[in-house]
Every structure is written in C-alpha cells, then in structure tokens.
Amino acid sequence: MMCGKTVIVTGANSGIGKATAAGIVELQGRVILACRDPGRAEEAAREIRQQTGADGSQVLVKQLDLASIKSIRTFCENIIKEEPRLDVLINNAGVYQCPYSRTEDGFEMQFGVNHLGHFLLTHLLLDLLKSSAPSRIVVVSSKLYKRGEINFEDLNSEQFYDKALAYSRSKLANLLFTCELARRLEGSGVTANALTPGIVRTNLGRHVHVPVLAKPLFNLLSWGLFKSPEEGAQTSVYLASSPDVDGVQGKCFADCRPQVLLDKATSQDLASKLWDMSEVMVGITT
C-alpha cells in the first residue's frame, strides 16, 4: 500500500512514533526517523528492521531537534537536497508536562517543541510535499486540548506556567494549526489532518510524578487500561496510508474515525491569529 512512498516521522525512536514507523514499514513504505538523539534513533531503526524484515534503505535516521530552529532548518535543507519526494509528514514528537524550561531560541519548551517546531518544519517541507502530491500531513494532538487556552498575551508562559495547562495549550495549538493549514492547502493536492491517540503506555509521562507507594498500582492499571504503542499508532498509520481518507482535509480522528471538536479548536479567527504569531516567532517572512 505504501510501496515507493517516503514518510517522515518525528519522535520515532520510541512510543507511538516508533510504532507508527514500524506500521508504515510493514506496509512497504520507506521511513525517515527524525529524532533528537541519533543513538536512540539508530537503536529503534535496528529494532524496526528486525521486526519487519526491512533492509537499511527502508528505515533511515536523521537528526532533528525540534527545540532548535537551526536544527530544524538544517534537517529540512538536507531532506530537500537528498530526497526527490516526500509523501507523508507525520508530526508526532512531543514533550509532556515538563518543568519550566526554554528551547534553544527562548520559547517555552512544550509550546516550542509541540507547536512551533512542527510549524516551522512543515513550512520548510511544504514545497517538497506539494511537488510530491497527492501527499499528506498528519498532526498528533491529544484530547487534553480541551483544557487548553491560547493566551496571546503570554504564549511563552513568562507570566504564568502550569505544566499540565501548557501541554494542553500546545495540543490545542496543534489542532488550530491543522485547521488553518488545511484551509491554505485546499486545491494543492496536499491534505492535513490531526488525530488524538488516546492514553498510551509510553515514556512521554516521564515528568509526571507518581508517589513511590502508588507506582505498583499505577503500573498495573496502566497495563490494563492504557493502549499499547501499537494500538496508539493505528490512527497515525491509517491517516498516512488509507485510501479512505484520500482528499479528506482539516479533520481530527480518533480510533480511525472522525471526531467532533470543541469550537475553540476549529475557530478560524483563533487559527489565523495563531498562524500569524507563529510565523513571527519562528522568523518566517512572507
């Protein structure tokens, strides 16, 4: 189904991203693991090759640090130089509820990586995606977007920081970005859709504190109630590969089905304003 197609997956060294990459490879796609840590990414690539029987040309590793504008630009320059086509971009990488910190360029880490980094990455790869049309952009959000609010007076959380609310805001930004991107891509042959994977057993929650005495119970419950990475990746693989979503634009999916979002996640005014401010923040001049 994906034979001859090239797919970039950000944050593909573990969790949903790794499972997504493996799912694409199993469909005969060629995957570029775009990861901050090349060592961990190479280990993931070896495991994916062993799991799927793929050769070295089908699973590649490229260094990408979404907390660095310089790294994003270098990654995209290399992709454009080396890759004749790009069929699918999966914006999967994420930082979850970390203590307050800043990216290399001074952005609050969760907003900087989860939204701004992918915003710039997508912008820089858009011409390659358009020349490869029909092509797809897949954005991984979260149902926790419902708790998020876009405070345009404090996008960098300099006045107030709550790690849970900051994560939710970044996930709301993902959905607003998808909404505006889809509007701008109408008629281009490139589609943009988002998804919420549900609660998945990954290392994304490494910054979440669980009391020592509660950890055995938490671990038991997580195995019983949370999705496996493979289950969490199903909708990402579906949106990247399924003919069912050919031409589908600007929707959000969960469990491979379209979802109805809260109004704040589809507001044209919010999406347009966030787009304009994001361009300024990452230094895009149009």
- Residues designated as active site: 167
CA distance 96 to 168: 9
CA distance 31 to 12: 10
CB atoms inside a 10 Å sphere around CB 251: 20
CB 177 within 8 A of CB 274: yes
User: To the nearest 5 percent, what fractions of the chain are helix, strand and coil?
Assistant: 50, 15, 35
| Burial call 14-34: b when 16+ CB within 10 Å, e when fewer | bbbbbbbbbbbbbbebbbbbb
CB 243 within 8 A of CB 29: no
Question: Strand 6-10's sheet: what is its strand order?
Answer: 59-63, 30-35, 6-10, 88-91, 135-140, 190-195, 252-254, 257-258
Enumerate residues 6+ apart whose C-beta is below 8 A from 196: 141, 142, 143, 145, 252, 253, 254, 259
Burial class, 106, CB count within 10 angstroms (exposed 0-12 / middle 13-18 / buried 19+)? exposed
CA distance 196 to 173: 13
Planar angle of CA 99, 113, 38, nearest 5 degrees: 100
